[in-house]
Structure 1
Amino acid sequence: MSFTRASGLLLHPTSLPSRYGIGDLGQMAYRFVDFLGETKQQLWQILPLGPTGHGNSPYMCYSAMAGNPWLISLDSLVEQGLLEKSELADAPDFPADRVDYDRVIAYKGERLRQAAQKFQATASSEFEQFCQAQAFWLEDYSLFMALKEANDGLSWSEWDTAIAKREPEALATWRDKLADAIFLQKFLQFEFCRQWFALKAYANERHIQIIGDMPIYVAHDSADVWAFPENFMIDPETLRPSEMAGVPPDYFSETGQLWGNPTYNWEVLEETQFDWWLKRIKTSLAYVDQIRIDHFRGFESYWAVPAGEETAMNGTWVEAPGVALFERVEAVLGKLPFLAEDLGIITPEVEALRDQFGFPGMKILQFAFGSDHRNPYLPFNCDRNFVIYTGTHDNDTTVGWYTTANDYEKQRLAAFVGGFAPESVHWTMMRLALSSIANLAIIPLQDLLGLGGEARMNTPGLAEGNWQWRFAEDALTPTLRQQFTALTELYGRATHQWS
């Protein structure tokens, strides 16, 4: 589906209200979709849906293809008869404004096990069909997660050598030994997909498309790297990355960002005609309607940091086969509904790769007012084939940004819009985004709600305390609906406005 003009909200499902400590795919998710529909939005952008690992980051998941089991709605399990209402009566008094991951995992984990045990006694043909259809990733993932639990959470490179290196006899032994734990993981993925696809269908029926997010890299401690180490730069002796991904010093960090993910062994991937990438993208396109490719520039050239470095400063740029990859994927899967996260150090070569395949790029208004009229993020320097944001999950909220902005930025913004009341800065920035020529405009929900820095989703380079924000159940008021709908219609972005 292509858009002449459209808008939407950025909100990860973990940020939804829920009495179980974390947003889920239950009633509040459907109410949020209703809010999108009522305000004439056409897009819901989310973060990666995978099962999160260290730091609870959706960009460091245990699998590039699995779903996050903590998003499963417990109330839905009650409706299916897999849990009793009484089993949820003792839900702790979780914080309403943030996710306490340790407590959530302990509480929901036990209830999910109970549901899996009941389900196991009556496993359906639908479940068997799911397992067969998804076997190419589900078998490795479910065994990986069962082994991880059996090894007290240790990274796979620290397991016994035989299973870490996937010796056939060890694989067979552990599959038999961990049969129940493997079933649990398969059930969690089956139930996640059942709930997610029902929610996605509900959104699509209301002419709302979901923009997913695909990190360019996968975590070292993941089923993907364990199952296919040949696709990554892995030391065959230590089983650790021999080359790590990151970015050089930039707006977010003076020492760059050292992510710790292994870079790809592109030579091997090309030899297989990018088979792993084809499967990954095809799986992602089942979950969502469009995909934002995180760190798009890494498909043209990527920052490679040698093993042993503690910062990203001493890396080098290495050319990547982005053209060959996208040509192959497009030949197999057709026209790609990708959005390119083209932020950071962007060269003409990166722009050429983006434009060769017609991928929309990104513009961030919070970056627009720190320099003169040549700033590429100013609305009048934006082209149609872009997605414009007030800010992203990596930025402070607009209110938080304005609070800490320097005088020059504040003066430039005021001059640009002809003055405004500081307390309405979020509406000012939203107007700029929605009124721009860019085909797509996305507003983080925090900005629609006018929240300050306390509602920031992520601070790059900060290892702890991210990904926790949640909004209040009564935040989406009738007045807010009316105001947001009016702006959406005024700037020609309402559902069916251009049909």
Structure 2
Amino acid sequence: MDKVGGIKNSGVLCHVTSLSTSYGVGDFGPVAYEFIDRMSEAHQHYWQILPIGNTNDSGCPYATDSAFGCADYYISPDLLSKEYDISPQAFNKYFFNSERVDFKKVAENKQKMLHTAYEKFLPNPKYEAFLKEEESWIAAYCLFRTFTETRGFDWKKWPHFSDAEASMTAAEKEKYNFHLFVQYTCFTQLAELKKYANKKNIKLVGDLPIFVSYYSMDVWKNPSQFYLDKETLDMKYETGAAPDGFSATGQKWGTPIYDWEYQKKDNYEWWNVRLSFLKRYFDIIRIDHFRGFCATWISEVTAPDASGGQWYPGPGADLFKNLRNYPEVIAEDLGYITPDVEALRDEFNFPGMKVFQFQLGDSTNPHKLQNYYYNCVAYSGTHDCDTLMGWYKHLTPSERDTLNKDLHVQFPNHWDFLDILLKTPAKIVLIQVQDLLGLGSEARFNYPGTVQETNWSWKLSFKETKHIDWERLRRLTIDSNRSVTKGQVCG
């Protein structure tokens, strides 16, 4: 126990796609189970991943076609071959080793392997139970995936949702059934992985992007949940970020805003369904852009930039008071945070975030180590950050000298930084897997606000996977009093 608060633990931030497999992308199969084994041996108790929704060829997990559903490429061919008695050699032709994830290629390959399994699939009680449990979204989502493939992405040109199923052709019906099978396979594999992680005393941490794409199943099925033109269903306003030191004109994100007044009338049922769904597959959810529940910066879709935007009030505590069943929450409270955001976070006892790389500045900076407190989750860096050593290398000589003096180090390496981070009062410490290897900026996962091939595509090489020093992490975890016995993981 820590005198500041209570039990402290740690874990690893590593998206599933970053794991090494013979198929060019990480998945829910043996490599994920091995990763859990290594974390368990190192006394880690959390594995955080990014959103798992279906993406375009960029692989951006924050730009998906629904708040529900799963991308096909997370499915493990190794588990498929066992489930459907397919010779492993049948999938050998899909082996390829690339330095980065080629999302277009792996998606195409997974589709072919899934069709091989689908030919052997027969509906069964487990499948029927899955469809029943997920009935709030599964049919609409698979219809959406089908029509996207056969009729294009603009759902405004499709039949109204209520008439969509009846309008399917025979070929579309077959695609629809295939997508049902794929989603069943995705979530069956994920549920088994979560069960295994929990047996190893590891909690699976997912990620919830607060907004959804306009061209998504959610807007097609539930347009009244969003603030749209009542006749055309076009967006009047889009979400974004206010002008700041990073952008004098602000940011436009292209996602629709919620009609909070309408959602309040049905007690936020869409959110109840969304959070209940996530709780079935994750122990904890990090809510991205948590401040959006207090207020969101919006601008007109026709405006050239976000400089003339305005703050759009959110539902605040009323939303969370009306949620019936949701997982533990981590509130992403980075960036421009106002007192009402902090009050909402604290009212429901949600831990906020601290980021080691943000600690430069004066004593008022909440990310200074001296300002860490128990009920927070401290990160070596997030998916939008550089790696620890990449960050350190790019500091100015003056910044580096100041940091070294503050941290009482002289020629620090990544283990020195991780040791310091693990010894903070934070309830949970999450370490980017790149930082366990001391990798530089070449291993950065994403550059926010940019579109480039290196975003989202970084993955561990087979060599790097073998070189992670799990034993050293175990020792540091024990030394920092973050190693607890089964049943003691903080909630």
TM-score (norm 2): 0.94
2:415 to 399, 414, 427: 427
1:155–1:456 CA distance, 2 compared to 1 (3 A): farther
Distance 2:474 2:218 in 1: 43
Report the counterpart of residue 404 of structure 1 in structure 2.
Answer: 394
1:236 is displaced (CA, Å) by: 4.0
| Helix, strand or coil at the partner of 1:429 | helix
Deviation at 1:441, TM superposition (A): 0.6
Instruction: Give the 5 Å matches for 1:371-450.
Output: 371-422=361-412, 424=413, 426-450=414-438
- State how far apart, in whole Å, the 2-side matches of 1:84 and 1:150 are: 32
- Within the alignment, does 1:459 sit opposite 2:447 as a pair? yes
Cα distance in 1, alignment partners of residues 301 and 352 from structure 2: 32
Asked whether the 8 Å contact 1:379–1:432 carries over to 2, the reply is no
1: distance between equivalents of 2:83 and 2:6? 38
SS at match of 1:221: coil
Pair 1:44–1:175, CA change in 2 (3 A):
farther
Residue matched to 1:245: 239
Asked if structure 1 preserves the Cα contact closer than 8 Å seen for 2:276 and 2:325, the reply is yes
Deviation by residue 1:133-190 (Cα, 9 ceiling, x = unmatched): 2111001000000000002x42323x34xx1x3352x541227551111111111111
**CA 1:384 to 1:297, structure 2 compared with 1: closer, same or farther past 3 Å?**
same
Q: 1:27-67 CA distances to partner (integer Å, 9 max, x unpaired)?
A: 11011001110100011111112112363211111121212
Q: Specify the alignment match of 1:7 in structure 2.
A: 10
Q: 1:494 to 1:348 in 2, by over 3 A?
A: same
Aligned twin of 1:47: 50
Compared CA separation, residues 442 and 131, structure 1 to 2 (3 A): same
- In 1, Cα distance between the equivalents of 2:264 and 2:462? 48
SS of aligned partner of 1:178: helix
Distance across 2 between alignment mates of 1:251 and 1:41: 37
Instruction: Please state how far the C-alpha of 1:117 moved relative to its aligned partner.
Output: 2.6
Question: Of 460, 464, 469, which aligns to 1:480?
Answer: 469
Note the 1:11-50 alignment, pairs <5 A.
11-50=14-53
> For the Cα contact (< 8 Å) 1:41–1:495, is it kept in 2?
no
Cα deviation digits, residues 213-255 of structure 1 (max 9, x gap): 1111111111111100110122344433221111123465454
**Quick one: which amino acid aligns to residue 353 of structure 2?**
M
- Cα distance, 1:285 vs structure 2: 0.8
Q: Partner letter of residue 117 of structure 2?
A: A
Amino acid in the other structure paired with 1:192: C
Alignment of 1:309 onto 2:303: yes
Secondary structure of 1:246 counterpart: strand
- Matched residues, number: 483
Matches within 5 A, 1:333-348: 333=325, 337-348=328-339
TM-score calculated relative to the size of structure 1: 0.92
Q: Give the corresponding residue for 1:471.
A: 460
Aligned equivalent of 2:113: 111
Listed one character per residue, the Cα deviations across residues 194-228 of structure 1 (whole Å, up to 9, x for unaligned) are 11111111110010001111111111111111100
Q: For residues 76 and 310 of structure 1, what CA distance do their matches in structure 2 show?
A: 49
Match 1:195 to one of 189, 192, 205: 189
* One-letter amino acid of the structure 2 residue matched with residue 41 of structure 1: Q
List runs of 5+ in structure 2 lacking aligned partners: none
1: CA distance, partners of 2:461 / 2:245: 31
Q: CA deviation at 1:469?
A: 0.8
Query: 1:473/1:194 Cα in 2 relative to 1: closer, same or farther (>3 Å)?
Result: same
Tell me the SS of whatever aligns to 2:462.
Answer: coil
CA distance in 1, matches of 2:487, 2:96: 46
The structure-2 alpha-carbon separation of the partners of 1:252 and 1:428, relative to structure 1 and needing over 3 Å to count, comes to farther
Separation of aligned partners in 2, 1:240 and 1:35: 49
Deviation digits for residues 394-420 of structure 1, max 9, x if unmatched?
A: 111111111222233212210012223
* Distance of 2:294 and 2:105 partners within structure 1: 41
Residue 353 of structure 2 corresponds to residue 357 of structure 1 = no
Answer yes or no: is the 8 Å Cα contact 1:62–1:223 preserved in 2. yes
Q: How big is the alpha-carbon RMSD for the aligned residues of Structure 1 and Structure 2? A: 2.0
Match of 2:154 in 1: 155
Q: Is the 8 A contact 1:207 1:495 kept in 2?
A: no
Distance 2:382 2:485 in 1: 26
Aligned equivalents of 2:287 and 2:65: distance in 1?
Answer: 18
* 32-41 or 399-408: bigger deviation: 399-408
Distance 1:450-1:242 versus aligned 2 partners, 3 A rule: same
Q: Deviations for 1:2-47, whole angstroms, at most 9, x for unmatched residues? A: 9720100000101010111110111110110011101000111111
